[in-house]
Structure 1
Amino acid sequence: MTTDNLHTLAADQNEIGGHTVTLADVTSVEPDEASRQICNDRVNLTDWGFKVTSFAYPFAASTPKSEEQVAGCGYNSARGLGEITTPIDCAGCAAAETVRPADLFRTRATSEVGSKWTLADLQATVAQAEKAGGWLQLTFYDVDNSGSPRSISPALFEQFATWLAARTQQGTMAVRTVHDVIGGVAKPVVNGPVAAPAAPGTNALRNPGLETAGKYGLPQCWQVSSYGKNAVVLSTLTPGHSGAVARRLDVSEYSSGDAKLLPVLDLGACAPSVSTGHSYSLRAWYQSNAKTQFEVYYRNKLGTWTYWTASPWFAANTSYEQAIWDTPPVPAGAEAISFGLNLFSDGQLATDDYEMYDTVGAPSP
């Protein structure tokens, strides 16, 4: 969705709210990262000309701490999911949220309207809220013909909107934005904490030896990224180059694109911050049966990640070899980079002991 799309929605009396910069689960990242995700999203939207007072938690995940962070970023309310009864789920839950919610930073809503829902289900959910009195928040993730569990068809959405419009004419209900219900002024924006570049001579990477385990079988602070047509599997090797483990990418069914392991594309908890105009020494130990290269991405002020550049190829090696390459000067507007050795063919690539230094003050390999 483009900013023009957002302005079109806003011009049609829809409210634009916050949802983090990169769809981050704010309960599973470090506190400073959560604040950057929540606050900087509001900064971006405000800079684009929107009045931003409402927030929705990605994955409906919140804690008392994240509620406090949302309030601290200047929002007036935040929405959860799945705490209002519907014909689909949450039997025994309330039929509607109170018009002045007991918890402004965890307002109650239905679960996401998805492919199991019918027009009758939507109508019944509205009718029971009318009977109980209060505020009903229906949540839609996708409106398309994909048939995915989290989507409804455009035809069903149109049928419901038509029914809802007729219902409002009866005077038993009204359709309002979240801001209309919650009220309050748009508070000044608050920037999230700044993630500063590493000091000269310091490895800028978190978990560079891939030793600390994270979620989903990944090393903490690292992710697998791929594009094009290929199949990729990440596995753990023991021992590693210098520690207990290394990580191996296996690519098969290759037709196009590449696959790599690289620091998480976030707002600073894992992705290392950089200084404009500086060059950085990228290093990693690898063994492979195919050519590889460093592929580098950068993040701008908005939190958007973009492909930047790639190193020359490094030859296949049956024993560990250190790949070393200095980047060009970081372009204007880049605030962080992420990089990894990639596979752009069928093959295996084991990597370990990553390093990244400002070339000024970098230690000798």
Structure 2
Amino acid sequence: MSPRGKGIASGPIRMSRKRAGLWAASWVSVLLLLTGATSLINGSQAPSGSGTTSPTPSAAPLSSVSLTFDAGRSSQMEAARILKDHGLRGTFFIDSGFVGAPDYMTTDNLHTLAADQNEIGGHTVTLADVTSVEPDEASRQICNDRVNLTDWGFKVTSFAYPFAASTPKSEEQVAGCGYNSARGLGEITTPIDCAGCAAAETVRPADLFRTRATSEVGSKWTLADLQATVAQAEKAGGWLQLTFYDVDNSGSPRSISPALFEQFATWLAARTQQGTMAVRTVHDVIGSVAKPVVNGPVAAPAAPGTNALRNPGLETAGKYGLPQCWQVSSYGKNAVVLSTLNPGHSGVVARRLDVSEYSSGDAKLLPVLDLGACAPSVSTGHSYSLRAWYQSTAKTQFEVYYRNKLGTWTYWTASPWFAANTSYEQAIWDTPPVPAGAEAISFGLNLFSDGQLATDDYEMYDTVGAPSP
């Protein structure tokens, strides 16, 4: 689930020419020095990458190709194996809050990548569009991702923008978090798109915090497309960043098959022997040392007696048809639609979940699972009073999640059931004491069957100092 908050941006938003949709991932990187690699594990030295033969005086301008991978998808470990087999290395941009989740890499996977001299880069904690959240939330997403990865033992100098979205403000934030570069998408010409764009990024990019890359390589790409993109960059001279998401046989628009990636790696490894092009990580290209880590701003718990929720009445509209600071979450096999009701329980609107085709799982509306802009911070050992007005055709309950220091969200607990009601009733429940390590919670009333559930006027208080219902 990707956090979405109030859209606050400074200056024009820069995005890829072809945005792949709400869940698409994208990245950003930068270059400056065509040197051998330094270690991606703190405190050790790493050998230079293969294929760095110097060109003869009559050769074309020396070019670099960086193979970058977004979001730390588990399928990318197959790509890493293929790279190792051919003496190549890549840059893997990681959302640290997703590490260990289904379909994502584990920390052991990351250490395997680094041991094979691949680079580990940042991609925000929870795949956040840093142009669509408040400045403090953007800083937490960018800075704390780098803190997490550094704490795991990696040297992290390169960043990639989720959804290829950046503004002058977010570029300043990336630099302020200690990165040396950041990468966009969709600004280099390929046989697939971006006709009229440059053939490659310059060796010394004009903007280190918005370096240009191709659009994401997906199922429409062929071996000939990949080869042509490299060849045109080699002819022009400069730096080419190719971007991959899944490397599997799913056939999804954002994936390429391992067989195609194997063919491309074989061709690319042979190409480096000509001496006019080398495959390098983003850090190899950019150079410079790893700067000290910077923590993002802390989101403090609400004061006693204060409702900890933002937009509790769901009155303020956000993006994608959702209330600001709220998201729909579901799992299992069911179809869910969120609609707006007029009037609401106490204001202009309420929101209703409609679940159909139910087979398993549940659906709920809850505060965005972010790093503090919307999800309320809590104190370990404290209990919280959760309240919401609802009417429903089926029984419902509060389902509660908590976030740890890394930014990872985990299911915590659930309330007893509340009966179906044809008119608004207030559901009230006090949580158990917050467990050690939990820094925030998010909760919502859910549906575990076909039915309708309208909710409004949410509240959350520390039980110490909570007002009477």
- Offset at residue 251 of structure 1 (A): 1.1
Residue of structure 2 equivalent to 1:246: 350
Residue of structure 2 equivalent to 1:5: 109
Residue of structure 1 equivalent to 2:383: 279
Please list the CA deviations of residues 146-185 of structure 1 after superposition, one character each: whole Å capped at 9, or x if unmatched: 1111111110000000000011112121111111111111
User: What are the within-5 Å matches in structure 2 for residues 149-298 of structure 1?
Assistant: 149-298=253-402
Please list the CA deviations of residues 299-346 of structure 1 after superposition, one character each: whole Å capped at 9, or x if unmatched: 000000000000000011111100000000000000000000011111
SS of residue paired to 1:135: strand
- Offset at residue 230 of structure 1 (A): 1.2
Unmatched runs of 5 consecutive residues or more in structure 2:
1-104
- Offset at residue 31 of structure 1 (A): 0.3
Of 347, 350, 355 in structure 1, the residue corresponding to residue 459 of structure 2 is 355
Share of identical aligned residues, percent?
99
- Offset at residue 279 of structure 1 (A): 0.2
- Offset at residue 215 of structure 1 (A): 1.2
Q: Do structure 1's residue 84 and structure 2's residue 181 form an aligned pair?
A: no
Output the CA distance in 2 between the equivalents of 1:147 and 1:101. Answer: 34
SS of residue paired to 1:215: coil
- Offset at residue 227 of structure 1 (A): 0.7
Greater relative contact order (CA < 8 Å, ≥ 6 in sequence): 2
- Offset at residue 13 of structure 1 (A): 1.2
- Offset at residue 217 of structure 1 (A): 1.2
Please list the CA deviations of residues 270-309 of structure 1 after superposition, one character each: whole Å capped at 9, or x if unmatched: 0000000000000000011110000000000000000000
SS of residue paired to 1:33: helix
Output the CA distance in 1 between the equivalents of 2:112 and 2:230. Answer: 27
Output the CA distance in 2 between the equivalents of 1:216 and 1:166. Answer: 46
Output the CA distance in 1 between the equivalents of 2:273 and 2:420. Answer: 71
Output the CA distance in 2 between the equivalents of 1:88 and 1:223. Answer: 34
Residue of structure 1 equivalent to 2:179: 75
Return the TM-score normalized by structure 2: 0.77
- Offset at residue 257 of structure 1 (A): 1.0
Output the CA distance in 2 between the equivalents of 1:84 and 1:292. Answer: 50
Of 212, 228, 240 in structure 2, the residue corresponding to residue 136 of structure 1 is 240
- Offset at residue 41 of structure 1 (A): 0.2
- Offset at residue 72 of structure 1 (A): 0.1
- Offset at residue 89 of structure 1 (A): 1.1
Return the TM-score normalized by structure 1: 0.99
Please list the CA deviations of residues 192-245 of structure 1 after superposition, one character each: whole Å capped at 9, or x if unmatched: 000000000000000000001111111110001011111111111111000001
- Offset at residue 116 of structure 1 (A): 1.1
Output the CA distance in 2 between the equivalents of 1:155 and 1:257. Answer: 35
Output the CA distance in 2 between the equivalents of 1:115 and 1:246. Answer: 41
- Offset at residue 363 of structure 1 (A): 0.3
SS of residue paired to 2:271: helix
Output the CA distance in 1 between the equivalents of 2:308 and 2:349. Answer: 20
Output the CA distance in 2 between the equivalents of 1:9 and 1:149. Answer: 25
SS of residue paired to 1:216: coil
Select between 145-154 and 329-338 the one with higher mean Cα deviation: 145-154
Output the CA distance in 2 between the equivalents of 1:136 and 1:41. Answer: 25
- Offset at residue 99 of structure 1 (A): 1.3
Q: Do structure 1's residue 301 and structure 2's residue 428 form an aligned pair?
A: no
- Offset at residue 142 of structure 1 (A): 1.3
SS of residue paired to 2:138: helix
Give the count of matched residue pairs.
Answer: 365
Select between 138-147 and 43-52 the one with higher mean Cα deviation: 138-147
- Offset at residue 103 of structure 1 (A): 0.4
Output the CA distance in 1 between the equivalents of 2:453 and 2:312. Answer: 17
Please list the CA deviations of residues 246-276 of structure 1 after superposition, one character each: whole Å capped at 9, or x if unmatched: 1111111112111100000000000000000
Output the CA distance in 1 between the equivalents of 2:213 and 2:418. Answer: 53
Q: Do structure 1's residue 106 and structure 2's residue 204 form an aligned pair?
A: no
Output the CA distance in 2 between the equivalents of 1:364 and 1:151. Answer: 53
- Offset at residue 145 of structure 1 (A): 1.1
Unmatched runs of 5 consecutive residues or more in structure 1:
none
Please list the CA deviations of residues 47-82 of structure 1 after superposition, one character each: whole Å capped at 9, or x if unmatched: 000000000000100010000000000000000011
Output the CA distance in 2 between the equivalents of 1:349 and 1:163. Answer: 56
Select between 253-262 and 304-313 the one with higher mean Cα deviation: 253-262
Output the CA distance in 2 between the equivalents of 1:348 and 1:187. Answer: 52
Output the CA distance in 2 between the equivalents of 1:215 and 1:24. Answer: 13
